[in-house]
């Protein structure tokens, strides 16, 4: 009875006045005479408070709004993706072709951003702009779930990754704060010719979608995707390929990362996840020991003179799969010719001078956060491997030896194409991380990672 009386009690005049004053204080805090933008407001807080907010935002980004498994995805509502030309989760697709035909009239006006922000086309030939992009990505682009590792992209790496043949500046799409011109958002598209089953199609590959951590709640990601789509459509391209660690509608294929320790002691000191925990350091080092030198005759680093031979060798291999790029000679030169701390490619030359095998891997550096000893982690990621004369296990073991000699700490590979043939034999371990492949505005049957 007392509960009912309390719940039905009307506030007195004094109580109403107090509540009104509290409400007014909250409103005053957001008036225009306060901070001009979200960064000045947050930066004005004590350092300890800023760290609390960063941690809360990081935890939020790991929450149920971002499914990482198909089971989680089935329970999730994709408000943005339900408006896009992509297959729905659970649909069984047996046909091939665009979901919607190319629009007769493409939107000319840019999409609207939240107040206080503006679009920018990034000129990556400008060193200061490239440095800004490095800063944005290194501080905000995908970090480990336990917040211990963060990407550390170099200017050389980003120029390689974002400026292949026929790249367009307007497809390097940025968002800036009006008040101080700070770069706080980015998304890019690269031109790519793709073979999907029996169809060859000009598409774009979408890369480096990134929004500043302090703006994750402003729902800028959908606007970035829409604006990039508009800019791509203006060039007569209506399909895209992209990858994500998250499950979105709907994966064309889902692959798993495998990793091979190269500097085991360092990895264990960094408490790197997914390492075998059932043996001592001494036993683990012995278990993972590699030969001191390579053993494949004719194995050497790729040179410019090898480009045509590598192009023929690689494209013949790629043509076996249901989803693969169609590379020009210029693209092979761009993506595969060695660049220090960016990309390494090795070839095997037969006795008659022809190239019989090739393997390439690119370099990604990570910054170790709050570690008392180590500041970085160097990872090699397998890009392509093609073997016609050398056993794939032997070729990849030599690749691991070369990567270790060059100072890499760990070697990553996906279980795509023919990679499964050597992963277990060379003591790669399967990780708990997946990479999902997606097509935008194109439907076709799903495929297994080896296709």
Render 48-72 in DSSP notation, one character per residue: HHHHHHHHHHHHHHTSTTS--SHHH
Residue 105, pLDDT above cutoff 50: yes
Q: Higher model confidence: residue 402 or residue 149?
A: 402
d(CA 209, CA 141) in angstroms, rounded, equals 8
Tell me phi and psi for residue 406, to 5 degrees: -85, 0
**Half-sphere exposure at residue 34, Cβ-oriented, CA atoms within 13 angstroms:** 13
Write down the pLDDT at residue 144.
Answer: 55
d(CA 85, CA 338) in angstroms, rounded, equals 38
The closest alpha carbon to 338, from 406, 243, 428, 242, belongs to 406
Q: Residue 71's pLDDT band (boundaries 50, 70, 90)?
A: confident
Counting residues of the chain whose pLDDT is more than 70, the rounded percentage is: 83
Say which residues have a Cβ less than 8 Å from residue 253's Cβ, sequence separation at least 6. Answer: 323, 436, 437, 446, 447, 448, 449, 451
Spatial contact of 219 and 112, defined as CB atoms under 8 Å apart: no
Residue 114, pLDDT above cutoff 50: yes
The tens digit of pLDDT for each residue in 1-19 reads 333 333 333 444 454 454 5
Counting residues of the chain whose pLDDT is more than 90, the rounded percentage is: 67
Q: Tell me the H-state helices in 87-242.
A: 127-140, 155-162, 220-233
Write down the pLDDT at residue 224.
Answer: 96
- Which helix H or strand E contains 324, and what residues bound it? strand 323-325
Cis (ω within 30 of 0) for the bond into 294?
no
The DSSP bridge pattern shows strands 199-211 and 240-244 to be: parallel
Write the DSSP symbol of residue 143: B
Spatial contact of 418 and 392, defined as CB atoms under 8 Å apart: yes
The tens digit of pLDDT for each residue in 231-247 reads 999 999 999 999 999 99
- Which helix H or strand E contains 252, and what residues bound it? none
Q: Which domains does the chain have, with CATH numbers?
A: 83-241 (3.40.630.170), 254-440 (3.40.630.170)
The tens digit of pLDDT for each residue in 250-303 reads 999 999 999 999 999 999 888 887 676 677 788 888 888 999 999 999 999 999
Residue 121, pLDDT above cutoff 90: yes
Could you count the other beta carbons within 10 Å of the beta carbon of residue 128? Answer: 7
The tens digit of pLDDT for each residue in 188-241 reads 999 999 999 999 999 999 999 999 999 888 889 999 999 999 999 999 999 999
The distance from CA 256 to its chain's CA centroid, rounded to whole angstroms, is 14
Place of tokens 């896009």: 84
Q: Residue 56's pLDDT band (boundaries 50, 70, 90)?
A: very low
Of 61-65, 207-211, 425-429, which range is least confident?
61-65
Residue 29, pLDDT above cutoff 80: no
Bridge partners of residue 211, in order along the sequence: 185
Write down the pLDDT at residue 235.
Answer: 96
Spatial contact of 29 and 208, defined as CB atoms under 8 Å apart: no
Q: Higher model confidence: residue 259 or residue 74?
A: 259
Q: Ramachandran region of residue 239, left (φ > 0), alpha (ψ -120 to 50) or beta?
A: beta
Spatial contact of 240 and 206, defined as CB atoms under 8 Å apart: yes
d(CA 288, CA 411) in angstroms, rounded, equals 12
The three-point CA angle 59-65-67 to 5° equals 100
């Amino acid at each position: 009875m007392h509960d009912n009386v309390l719940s039905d009690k009307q506030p007195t005049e004094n109580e109403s006045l107090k509540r009104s004053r509290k409400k007014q204080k909250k409103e005053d805090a957001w008036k225009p005479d306060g901070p001009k933008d979200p960064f000045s407001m947050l930066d004005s807080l004590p350092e300890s408070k800023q760290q609390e907010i960063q941690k809360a935002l990081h935890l939020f980004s790991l929450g149920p709004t971002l499914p990482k498994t198909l089971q989680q995805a089935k329970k999730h509502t994709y408000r943005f993706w339900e408006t896009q030309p992509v297959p729905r989760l659970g649909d069984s697709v047996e046909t091939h072709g665009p979901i919607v035909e190319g629009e007769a009239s493409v939107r000319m006006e840019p999409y609207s951003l939240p107040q206080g922000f503006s679009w920018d086309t990034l000129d990556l030939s400008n060193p200061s702009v490239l440095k800004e992009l490095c800063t944005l990505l290194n501080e905000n682009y995908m970090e480990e779930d336990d917040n211990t590792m963060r990407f550390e992209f170099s200017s050389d790496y980003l120029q390689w990754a974002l400026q292949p043949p026929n790249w367009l500046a307007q497809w390097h799409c940025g968002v800036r704060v009006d008040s101080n011109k700070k770069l706080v958002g980015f998304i890019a598209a690269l031109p790519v010719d793709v073979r999907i089953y029996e169809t060859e199609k000009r598409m774009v590959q979408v890369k480096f979608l990134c929004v500043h951590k302090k703006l994750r709640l402003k729902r800028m990601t959908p606007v970035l995707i829409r604006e990039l789509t508009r800019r791509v459509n203006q060039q007569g391209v209506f399909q895209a390929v992209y990858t994500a660690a998250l499950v979105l509608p709907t994966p064309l294929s889902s692959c798993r990362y495998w990793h091979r320790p190269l500097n085991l002691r360092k990895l264990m000191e960094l408490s790197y996840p997914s390492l075998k925990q059932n043996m001592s350091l001494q036993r683990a080092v012995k278990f993972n020991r590699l030969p001191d030198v390579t053993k494949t005759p004719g194995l050497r680093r790729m040179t410019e003179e090898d480009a045509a031979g590598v192009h023929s060798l690689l494209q013949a291999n790629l043509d076996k799969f249901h989803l693969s790029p169609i590379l020009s000679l210029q693209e092979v030169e761009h993506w595969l010719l060695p660049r220090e701390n960016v990309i390494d490619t090795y070839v095997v030359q037969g006795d008659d001078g022809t190239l019989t095998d090739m393997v390439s891997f690119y370099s990604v550096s990570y910054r170790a956060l709050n570690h008392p000893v180590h500041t970085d982690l160097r990872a090699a990621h397998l890009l392509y491997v093609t073997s016609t004369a050398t056993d794939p296990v032997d070729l990849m073991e030599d690749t691991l030896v070369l990567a270790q000699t060059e100072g890499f700490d760990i070697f990553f590979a996906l279980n795509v194409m023919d990679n499964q043939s050597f992963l277990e034999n060379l003591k790669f371990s399967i990780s708990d991380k997946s990479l999902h492949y997606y097509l935008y505005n194109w439907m076709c049957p799903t495929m297994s990672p080896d296709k």
